[in-house]
Every structure is written in structure tokens, then in C-alpha cells.
Structure 1
Amino acid sequence: MPNRAAIKIIQNRHFLTTTPEKSVRAVAAHMRDNNDSVVLVVTPEEGKLLGICTERDLAFKVLAAGLDPASTPVEAAMTANPQTISPEKPFGHALHIMHEGGFRHLPVVLPDGRPIGVLSSRDALGLEALHFFKELDQKEVLTEIL
């Protein structure tokens, strides 16, 4: 499972983007409305990745710092120039990058800098669950045979 390409994990999955001048309040509402905990910050013209902003960033860098969410641009809360992974790289490589960097989200980016999705450490749980259910099915088959 960790050998699956990143593109296979994120295909057909939506992800959120915003531009750096949007207010933290608008971005937080966008995240809430889409039930997502991360947004990629991109250039307005080309859509190239500038940064990543998570709900944790919003809480710690804006709310805990006493900044006004309505007037603070998301650029002030994002992590600029985040580590990324290319679509063909294995998911196991992404997990290693996230573990080493101490973060939970990793943008998947094309060679031209445009993001096509976001991997999450939670994706590993989905793979483990899939493996668990396959194993459970095999045990049931064996039980029936015996």
C-alpha cells in the first residue's frame, strides 16, 4: 500500500485553495463550509503554490496571537514554501516526509508548481483499514474452509 503513487491516493478528491490576500475569517469560513482542515494558498494568476494553511495555523498564529481574523490576510498565517511531493512518488515517501517534518499535510504538486491535491497523515489510516478488512475477509474464508 505505501508503494501506491501519491496521485492514486488523491485522485477524485477535492482540495481547497485560496489567494494570499483573503482574510483569515473568509478562509476559515471556506474551510468550515467545505468540512476541510487545510487550504493551499496559490498565486492569483498562475495558481502556483505559495503556502499551506491549516486550522491549527489559524488557531495558533491568529487567534492565540490576538490578531483580528477579519483584517489579517491568510498570508500571515500560512506556512510559506511548504515541502511538497510530486504525483508519481510513492505514498510511503510522503509519510516519511511528513514524519520527518512533523506535519500532517503534504501538497502534491506538478513540476510547474501548481498543486493537484493534498495528502494527509490520515490517509495512512485509510490504507491500514483497507488492509485490515482484506485480512478479516481472508480469515473468514479460512474459518469457513476449516
Structure 2
Amino acid sequence: MPSRAIIKIIQHRHFLTATPEKSVRAVAQHMKENGEGAVLVVSPEDGTLVGICTERDLAFKVLAEGLDAHTTPVRSVMTANPQSIGPDKPFGHALHLMYEGGFRHMPVVLEDGRPIGILSARDALGLEMFDFRRELEQREDLAVIL
């Protein structure tokens, strides 16, 4: 259900982190080893979210630009200050933000900025997507009536 709290989706799920000075190669290798499509980049001082690096960032900003993955730090290619969401928000809200923003991954953070998980567009596959579409259509119908 799109109204389900995000915490219910991400609980019991691991996520990857890296610090900004890690090489792109090390980050990509970490992603490959864990079968993940994104890494949350966190401050080494306080663990707060400073960026996100996705497969798309690696392909478009490193490979396509001919950067050296061994010497390029992830801070050079990450998306800094990404849109994030709190764990108590409904999943449908996150889907809406991802759709509107044109991105596929969204960090889930606590009020102090520390990440506790990540949502992926893949989380919307299956029955939840059908429920979300139906709910959106109902809201649009109501908006027309009002």
C-alpha cells in the first residue's frame, strides 16, 4: 500500500555507505559485491548524509567522461545533498517525490540527518504500484469534481 510507512519497507534491509574521499572504483566494487545500485555518502565526522552515488552517476559521470576510477573521489561524482525523506512518511509520498524529481533512489534519514536506509523505484513494483495508481486516479477524480 502506498500509505504504508517507509520504515515498514526499509526495516530489516541493509544499505551501503561510503565516505566522500573513497575512490569511485572502491565504491563501485562495494556496490557490485553487495548487489546494490546506490551508495549513500556520509560525513566521516558525524555520519550525516552528504550525497548519493548511483550506477547512473558511475556510468554518466565517470565512464562517459573518461575519469580515472582509481583516483577520482566519489565526492566528485556523487549527487550532493540529495532529496531525502523521513521514516514515518507514507511510501506513496516518496514515490511521488521520486517521480517528480526524476530519480530512482531516495535516502531515508532521521531528523539529525543520519541515514537509516534507502528506497528504490523497484520497491514500487508489484501490487503496490497498482494500488498507488488507483489512489492517484481517485485523487485526480476528486480534484476534477471539486
Q: Which residue of 2 aligns with 1:84?
A: 84
Query: Partner amino acid for 1:89?
Result: K
Q: Which runs of 4+ in 1 moved over 4 A?
A: none
**CA distance 1:65–1:30, change in 2 (3 Å):** same
When the two chains are superposed, the root-mean-square deviation of aligned CA atoms in Å is 1.5
In structure 1, what is the equivalent of residue 7 of structure 2? Answer: 7
Q: What is the letter of the counterpart of residue 75 of structure 1?
A: R
Native 8 Å contact 2:48 2:115 kept in 1:
yes
CA shift, 1:46, in A, is 1.1
Moved more, 121-130 or 80-89: 121-130
Given residue 7 of structure 1, which amino acid in structure 2 is its aligned partner?
I
Distance, in Å, in 1 between the alignment partners of 2:126 and 2:77 is: 29
The 5-angstrom pairing of residues 58-137 of structure 1 reads 58-128=58-128
* Percent pairwise identity: 74
2:4 counterpart letter in structure 1 = R
Hey, what's the Cα distance between the residues in 2 that align with 1:23 and 1:32?
14
Superposition deviation, residue 127 in structure 1: 4.5
Aligned residues: 131
Equivalent position amino acid for 1:108 in 2 = V
TM-score, normalised on structure 1?
0.86
Letter in 2 for 1:78: M
- Distance in 2 between residues matched to 1:95 and 1:30, nearest whole Å: 26
For structure 2, the 5+ residue unaligned runs are 132-146
Q: Does 1:36 align with 2:39?
A: no
Indicate the SS of the match to 1:12: coil
**How much has 1:97 moved relative to structure 2?**
0.2
Aligned mates of 2:12, 2:105 — CA distance in 1: 17
Larger radius of gyration: 1
What is the CA deviation profile of residues 53-94 of structure 1, one whole-angstrom value per residue up to 9, with x for unaligned ones?
A: 001101100110011000000001100000000010000000
